[in-house]
Structure formats: structure tokens, C-alpha cells
Structure 1
Amino acid sequence: MLWTALALLTVFIVLALGVLAAPDSPWTQGLDDAWRRAVGVGPESWLPGTAVAQMFQHLGQLPGAVLMFLVLPLTLVVLGRWRSALFVIAVQLAGPGLLSQLTKNLIDRPRPAADAGLFGPLVQVDHGSFPSGHSVSMAALIITVLALIPASAVWARRAWIVLGVLLAVGMVWQRTLINAHWFSDTCAGLIGGTAVALLLWWAFLPWLRCDQARRVWFLRR
């Protein structure tokens, strides 16, 4: 787990340095342009307003933050899993908080703009396109929930991995559909969020195992 996290973090840093070298037109720009022409839509499209697209939009904003910073940690505390609650908060602070915002400010890659018949972001966005904060948040959520599922629950973990892959792909689709990010921004966000979450999973593993070995307090005799 540690080596996987460090390898992914290295990939993220390499991608970040590649964009930093030429923020206006990095080495991924050809792929980004082709993806944008194939996936991006304009304000006349009905796709951004669908329930699925809006779900991904809100998961990376206030509703998602409330879920991961308040609802899930408080639920874990009520269940007697305070160590797991600290893990959830730590991932959110390190991933969507530190990694995403620090990289955005250091690189400050321009977001897709309206040119050549294409459209800019269809939602209000802040500065810095690299990495996608929504993608970082999604990857952090996927790994966090996976870590909270006991290793003995094999089928539950497998089912969540399948669902997690679909959620990750869906987030890439939604962020590029509305022209909020380039394709490489979303991929880098998933890589960075996964790296940070895995690293903290490794660090918190003894505490998580301790929580999972203890029965929930209201199920004890």
C-alpha cells in the first residue's frame, strides 16, 4: 500500500511538473483538445442538468464536504469508531484540502475557454484547472470508504471497487462535459486523490484494524 501510494504520488508530481512547464499548452494539450471536442457541450445541451451530472457536481461541492467532514465522521463516532473518524477527516484535509488547493495555486493552469466554436465552463469556477478538485474528492471518497470496509467483507469490498470505478469515470465525464476541466486535469485529480488516501490508509491501518475488530457498542452484551 505504501509503495503504491508513493508511486502514484510520483506520477502526480511528474504530471504537475509537465503542466507547470507550460500551463497554457502542456504536453497533454493535444489529447485534452480532442477529448473536449468529443465530450464537451454548450449551454443548449440538456446533459449537464440531468440528475446524474448534478450528483457529480454536488459531490465535489458543499454537499460532498458536509458528507465527508460531518455526516460520516459523526456517524463513526456514534458507532464508537473515533479512530476511523479521524482517518476520514485526515484524508479530506490532505487530499481535497492541501493537495488540490496547493497544486492549483502553484500551477494555475487556465481552464477551457470559449474558442473555435467550443464553450468555457458552464458553471462558476475558481482559478486553476490542474488538478480537478472534484476528481481529487471523488478518489478520496472511494478509497476512504474502501478502507472502512473490513478486509473480511470480501464481496462488499469487490462491489464497492466496481462502484468506485464507475464513480471515478463518471466524475471525469461530468467535469469535462461542462468544460470545467481538461481531461488530464481530471485524471491527475484521481491519481493524486488516490495517492494521498492510500498513504493515509497505510498510516492509519493499525487504528482502522482496531476499530474493525471491536463490535459496535450497541451490539455488545
Structure 2
Amino acid sequence: MDIYPASVERLIEALTHLPTIGRKSAQRLAMSIVDKPEEEVKRLAEALLEVKERVMHCEICHNLADGPICSVCEDETRDHSVICVVEDVQGLIAIEKTKSYHGLYHVLGGLLNPMQGIGPQELDLNRLVDRIGQDDVKELVFAISPTVEGEMTAHFIRDVVKDTGIRLSRIASGIPIGASLEYFDDMTLIKALEERRSMDA
């Protein structure tokens, strides 16, 4: 005999496809939704649909945006001579929250991982190279988590752009091996950015 009505079971199953949500967490979320007033549930459903309909990746840096260009790339007050390379949007948000970095970004959307079939083309690294060639970029700052894949990615990009004469730097130590930027407090990230060190080309 099914414990939950079929409609609730379908909701639980759908929720388990979200990151870090196991079946027990999905059950709690589903029951919370069932108990919410209808208007709140409608607002949630509308917000989910709106995100899928409107949100896209910025044509320049691959950040999230409500249009072709994100708010960071559109901001003329930012320092367009510096690009911070991050693994994902969460890394960008973590740095933005510090309010200490005022340059642009390039979101890789992942890291090189030959075992999983993720190569330079999957990360669209050509777009980053084009930005360096077309814009007046003087420095690339690598703010990539110090995992094996992160190190591989940073060194690959370094080798690709080393002949451009651009300055290459990476955020300072203090970020533990294998850690993700989104889990660190603002002061740790501020210090890491301020004390970024040059990468030998």
C-alpha cells in the first residue's frame, strides 16, 4: 500500500532530483508545501516557471542573467581590465558578496576532467581567449577551488594565454585543498583576493 497519495509521491520524487535533497528531506519539503496556503504555493510555482523562462547565461561571461548581458558586464563603473576566472556562478556570488572586487568575471561552468569527458571545448575556453584578445584586459585572476581538477584547469588556461603578455595571478593561500569558494566567509575571501599572487608563466 502506498503511504502517500500519488500526487504527493510525484512531488517527493521530483524534489529528490535537486542537489543535496535525499528522500527524507524531500518528504519534509513536500509536506511543508502541502500545508502551505494555496497562494504561497502558486507564488512558488510561478517563480520556478519564471526562472526557467527568463534566466539565461550571459553572452560575455556566462553569469546568470535576465537578458543577453548580465548586470556585471553591463556595469561601466567596473574595472574592465581585470577578469576573475571562477568555476561556477556560486563562486562569482561568493566573491561579489565581499564587495572588495570590482573587475569582471568569466564563469567556466565546470573544471577540466578527462575522466568525465570534460575538455576545453566543454568549458568554452575559446570565449575567454577571445575576451582577452578583443578587450583591454591586463590581468586574469584565478579564483578556482584548489582541487586536482582546479589546478589542471588553471594551468591549462595559463599555458593557452601565456604568450599574450597578460598578468596571471591566483587568490592567495588560505582556501583549503578541495574546498569550494561558496562555503568561505567574506573575510577569508577578501584576504585571499587582496593577497593574490602571481602565477609563473
Same fold (TM over 0.5): no
Q: Which is richer in helix? A: 1
If asked which structure has higher relative contact order (CA below 8 Å, sep 6+), I would say 1
- Calculate the TM-score normalised by the size of structure 1: 0.26
- Look at both structures and tell me which one has the larger radius of gyration over its CA atoms: 2
